[in-house]
Amino acid sequence: MNDESQKEKLRQHFARRVTTQARVVLDTWQKIQDDRTQAPAHRDELIAAADKLVRYARRFEMESHAASGEQILTLLTDWHQDSALDEPMAKALEEATESLRLSTQRRTDRDTSSAPQQYRRTPVYIALSNEEMASRLIRQLEFFGFRASAFNAPADLIEACGLSKPETILMDVNFGGNNAGIATVEQLQEQHDTPIPIIFVSDEDGSIETRLRASRCGGEEFFYPAVDPGQLIEKIETYTHGNTVEPYKVLVLDDSRAQAKYMETVLKKAGMTAHIITDPMQIIHALEAFSPEIIILDMYMPGCTGMEIARVIRQQDRFHSVPIIYLSAEEDVSKQLHAMSLGGDDFLTKPIDPKHLIATLHNRGRRARSLLALMIRDSLTGLFNHTHTLHLLEQEIVRARQKEQPMCFAMIDIDYFKKVNDTFGHPIGDRILRSLSMFLKQRLRKTDHIGRYGGEEFAIILPNTRPSDARNVLNEIRERFSELTQQAGDREFNVTFSCGIAGWQGESAQALCERADRALYTSKEHGRNCVTLSDT
């Protein structure tokens, strides 16, 4: 290798370090944007990331990155610690990070025909021996809102992970040589306090020895032989934080204000949403206003007992399966068992060990959510089922009427879906259904409700949304989805959908559904692959 090529290799190596650090800055800023209430908590993290970026960029003579980093640091000096992020500051920081974003884009990102690069997430790293497969995966992942990077050598991957911990790694067992992929992961996991989820793929080795070694170093999945991009993307979605677990909503009833305040502090510190009441007579109002996922009751209170309150709660169908945990100084096991027979699920004795409490709440909450999901979600797509979608629509109509806000209901139908099933088989059809459901979840708001209405039909409830805005959003989703390449063995094809939208005009849920359905039918009549807005 001559001197010039050696210098060029070094330059590329240093450039990767700078751009990787730039993406750390962008990801940290996105955390702040996603939840402004937590902005002060990320302020120092953003300062540290920007400072490191400036130092790297100056050292490696990447002036545009250095200038953007310095601009961000200058703005951050005016954001006082522990203070909220005001709108003028947020706007100025957004402009500065946009400048950095443009500097950080790869050449392929600047091609306007490509899917827009999104920095909502920390990266997904791809370490595959098959470079063509890696490139195809990155392109597909970008359609789903991920930011993915591919690597050619273990050393580059290890360095990148040291600069920015990825959400997950897709690793070829033989990346870098004979089973070198597993060895690389073993070395990587030692660098981090918490393990990185790894999805292993292998075309040649599916032995139990290899599988055990992969599992021991953080392998969550092992595909042998390797599978197509669609299946891999579904698994990558499972092990990333795009669908962040919502905090458990915990209602605490304790007549002691001091104990109630202590419980509130413990729960909030654990990242849960707590609602505290000290008067048992307020329980019905609290249940209706807060809709808790877990209920904690003091056993003995003036005027009634926790067991009596539990029986009242269990008389309401919607709270029949909500976990109830008793708190008491009662140590008589027979009395504890009797209390649980009257509607309780667990019993904690005072004084409460915070770790024991939080572990109990997590276990009960996780199980309750799993059971609820079985009742209200479609097993194939994970979206709300038909019945629950209509229930949510009724609720949103009530809310829209109370707040005098607009609302829209949309129906989507995959075009020529029967032909897809007949041509490629039902497993491919199922994967397309999951693909569209993931596509919708990635691009719609958390406040929107997405349901599988039946077969290849989907329903979307868009609260506080005008019909024109709903049309623009869903038309953009339609266009992007039609560009997504679907895989069936060695064959590739594209799928489209038709959509009908109805803005709520004060009518019933049934009437609103019928108008959206007529608009969908109009889209089908007009050649499919379009969005129609209902006039009446």
| Interval 470-482: pLDDT, tens | 999 999 999 999 9
Counting Cα atoms < 13 Å in the Cβ hemisphere of 332 gives: 5
Cα gap 413→520, rounded to integer Å: 8
SS3 readout for 466-521: CHHHHHHHHHHHHHHHHHCEEEECCEEEECCEEEEEEECCCCCHHHHHHHHHHHHH
Question: pLDDT tens-digit profile of 277-304?
Answer: 999 999 999 998 888 999 998 888 888 8
CA distances 400 to 239, 329, 510, Å, are 35, 46, 16
Say what the pTM is: 0.59
Record the tokens describing residue 418, joined without a space: 């029967």
Q: What is the pLDDT of residue 164?
A: 77
pLDDT at 522 over 70: yes
Q: How far is CA 222 from the centre of its chain?
A: 23
- Among 180, 173, 175, 177, CA closest to 207: 173
Q: What is the pLDDT of residue 226?
A: 65
Place 338 in a pLDDT band, splitting at 50, 70 and 90. Answer: low
Cα gap 221→202, rounded to integer Å: 11
Cα gap 461→405, rounded to integer Å: 13
pLDDT at 111 over 90: no
Other Cβ atoms less than 10 A from the Cβ of 72: the count is: 24
More confident residue, 201 or 108: 201
Cα gap 425→236, rounded to integer Å: 24
Place 330 in a pLDDT band, splitting at 50, 70 and 90. Answer: low
- Among 437, 457, 443, CA closest to 382: 437
CA distances 455 to 380, 417, 431, 512, Å, are 11, 9, 13, 20
Mean pLDDT of 418-441: 91
The dihedrals phi and psi of 298, each to the nearest 5 degrees, come to -70, 140
